[in-house]
Amino acid sequence: MALLDGKKLLITGVLTDDSLAFGVAQLAQREGAEIALTSFGRAMRLTGRTARKLDTEPPVYELDVTDPAQGEALRAELERSWGRVDGALHSVGFAPETCLGDDFFAPDWDDVSVAVHVSAYSLRTLADVVTPLMTDGGSLVGLTFDASVSWPAYNWMGVAKAAMESLNRYLARELGPGGIRCNLVAAGPMRTIAAKSIPGFAAFEDEWVKRAPLGWDVNDSEGVSRACVALLSDWFPQTTGSIIHVDGGYHSIGA
């Protein structure tokens, strides 16, 4: 029996086939899950084209995580089409250009608030969409980039990720009595569209390749996909509020 046989999973964040979420979607299907994707605005067409590259083309629903009405509409659609949801992947993040780069003090609150809303609070938004439909328990899994330390150039996106990591723990506490688990996967640097928007990101890649105890391939996201799929399955029934590092062990070594 495949790991996700019979599971119904909502997956956010698929833009191109180098998206981390695409790897999760592909592996989830191959492990027996029925999936649906989300996108919004002009990106809907790009997500739709990428969806056709999966083994079975899934539906693509619109979800702007800053629009509560879209969340309510998506929950109603999932209830109509599926009746229940077993798991969801949060792979959503965005920060205005001023929030990244050399000048930590460049952005004002208007820009910072966008980063926090889209990259952190949206985990709660996704929970609002799917957890009412997790009638027999379920699993929320999010993607992060280790926010326990500060990183060059990552700046306010790092602050937003730290907020997301805290939010994950609070969601785990609140949703646990309903049998719903909430965990994050902290991936090492990968060559994705999101990474290309971070100034100097190549330096992250070089550092990881040199120092990760298990080695690191910035083009190979299979380890991340496997971790997410495992957490979406029933194989971690007592794990919640956790951050699983899939970074070649980089997080465990000192400077």
202 vs 32, higher pLDDT: 32
Q: Which of 161, 170, 196, 210 is catalytic?
A: 161
As a whole number, mean pLDDT of residues 7-33 equals: 97
Single out the residue of 50, 28, 27 nearest to residue 38, CA to CA: 50
Q: What is the pLDDT of residue 202?
A: 75
pLDDT interval class at 169 (50, 70, 90): very high
The DSSP element (H or E) to which 245 belongs, if any, is strand 242-246
The domain defined by 8-248 folds into Rossmann fold (3.40.50)
Q: Given CA atoms 109, 114, 120, 123 in this order, what sign does their dihedral have? A: positive
Say how many C-beta atoms besides its own lie within 10 A of residue 64's C-beta: 16
161 an active-site residue? yes
pLDDT tens-place string over residues 48-98: 999 999 999 999 999 999 999 999 999 999 999 999 999 999 999 999 999
Q: Give the CA distances from residue 37 to residues 15, 170, 182, in Å, rounded to whole numbers and listed in that order.
A: 10, 25, 19
Query: Is the per-residue pLDDT at 177 higher than 70?
Result: yes
Q: Please provide the average confidence, as pLDDT, over all residues in the chain.
A: 95
Q: Give the CA distances from residue 57 to residues 36, 52, 63, 220, in Å, rounded to whole numbers and listed in that order.
A: 9, 5, 18, 23
Q: Which of 7, 8, 61, 154 is catalytic?
A: 154
170 an active-site residue? no
pLDDT interval class at 204 (50, 70, 90): confident
pLDDT interval class at 254 (50, 70, 90): confident
Instruction: Kindly compute the dihedral angle of the four CA atoms of residues 110, 39, 161, 53, in this order, to the nearest 10 degrees.
Output: -150
Ramachandran class of 64: left when φ > 0, alpha when ψ lies in -120 to 50, beta otherwise: beta
- The model's pTM: 0.96
List the domain boundaries for the chain. Answer: 8-248
